Amino acid sequence: MADYVGDSIELCLKAKNERDAEIILFAAVDFMAESAAVLNPDKKVLLPSPGARCPMAQMLTVEEVRRWRKKYPEAPVVLYVNTLASAKAECDVCCTSANAVKIVESLDADTVIFGPDSNLAEYVSEKTGKNVIAIPPGGFCPTHLLFQPEEIQVLRTKYSDAVVAVHPECSREVRGLADFVGSTSQMCRFAKSTEFKTYVIATEVGLLHRLRKENPGKEFIPAYDAVCPNMKLNTVERLYYALQKEQYVVRVPEETAKKARRALEEMFTINARVRGV
């Protein structure tokens, strides 16, 4: 049903470059629809289900960001796009799981405050060698924590020719068993550009639909049937009612939107410079 399918960065870019449509229906969770509204202040952005809230985004409050900034005044604050607009408004630059390493690498600082996913923070620290302070400590995506190293090992034995691709929001133990660690858009590119026949995938199970569609002839095995119940609130019925009734309009206060926009634009600027989405 969609005009565009993509991960947070792909959809952010689509929303940013959208010129013609007056209404953007964002079948996603709250923070993504908020980003679309922040980047398109003149458009009506609709979220089909007002209950589609990302629990990880809720973990990081404005007060928490301010508290850590006060503690480490020299450290830039990098926030994953999986945060509410109010938190984004408090940071220096946003990032996605696809560009987090490059964004942090590009900053002229050895210590960086990073939230809200502590697994992604740890992964970024491993890759950049920088001191990455995770805020809030122990923030996590409940869906990606469903993957367990024991299950990956069982699948490795069962599908001995398979490659294992894992999202960086998974735990360190799960990442340690992967052949490839990357965001959903990077997993899609990896599957397209490699010649393996079988892939074990550790991310929200909905991505397997896209992978199978884009790669007929290849086999994709979920490392676990990890469903994000929040994203799955976007049913066909709710999309229908959202379009029919023009509900539920996403509103971000202008002052917050202005600051959050600056942090998102900074991410786009660094991306363009390092060419690395």
Q: How far is CA 99 from CA 71, 93, 133, 203, in A?
A: 26, 12, 18, 17
Residue list 197-256, contact with ligand SF4 (CB under 6 A): 204, 228, 230-231
Output 191 or 228, the one with its CB closest to ligand SF4.
228
The minimum distance between CB 20 and ligand SF4, in angstroms, equals: 28
Which residue of 33, 36, 54, 211 would you call a contact of ligand SF4, by CB under 6 A?
Answer: 54
Please report which helix (H) or strand (E) contains residue 180, including its range: strand 180-181
Instruction: Look up residue 231 and give its DSSP letter.
Output: G
Instruction: Please classify residue 197 by burial: count the beta carbons closer than 10 Å to its beta carbon, then call 0-12 exposed, 13-18 middle and 19+ buried.
Output: exposed
- Residue 34 sits at φ, ψ, to 5 deg, of -65, -40
Structure tokens at 70: 């006060």
Distance from C-alpha of 153 to C-alpha of 149, rounded to nearest angstrom: 6
Which C-beta is closer to ligand SF4: that of 56 or that of 202? 56
Phi and psi (nearest 5°) for 187? -65, -40
**Count of chain residues binding ligand SF4 (CB under 6 A):** 12
H helix or E strand, kind and range, residue 207: helix 207-214
Residues 119-158 that bind ligand SF4 (CB under 6 A): 141-143
Can you tell me the distance from the alpha carbon of 53 to that of 67, in angstroms, rounded to the nearest whole number? 24
To ligand SF4, the closest distance from the beta carbon of 72 in angstroms equals: 25
Q: How far is the CB of 228 from ligand SF4 (least distance, A)?
A: 3
Q: How far is the CB of 56 from ligand SF4 (least distance, A)?
A: 5
| 96 contacts ligand SF4 (rule: CB under 6 A) | no
Residues 75-94 touching ligand SF4, rule: CB under 6 A, are 82
CB of 231 to ligand SF4, least distance (A): 5
CB contact at 8 A, 119 and 80: no
Give the range of 17-25, 37-45, 49-57, 259-267 binding ligand SF4 by CB under 6 A. Answer: 49-57
- Near ligand SF4 by CB under 6 A: residue from 6, 55, 136, 276: 55
Shortest approach of ligand SF4 to residue 157 CB, angstroms? 27
Least distance to ligand SF4, CB of residue 55, Å? 5
Tell me which stretch binds ligand SF4 (CB under 6 A): 48-56, 122-130, 174-182, 249-257: 48-56
Applying CB under 6 A, among 29, 112, 134, 264 the residue interacting with ligand SF4 is 29
CA distances from 2 to 24, 43, 62, 236 (A): 11, 18, 33, 11
Residue 97 or 256 with smaller CB distance to ligand SF4: 97
The total number of residues shown for the chain amounts to 277
Q: Are 43 and 24 in contact (CB under 8 A)?
A: yes
Chain residues that interact with ligand SF4, rule: CB under 6 A: 29, 54-56, 82, 141-143, 204, 228, 230-231
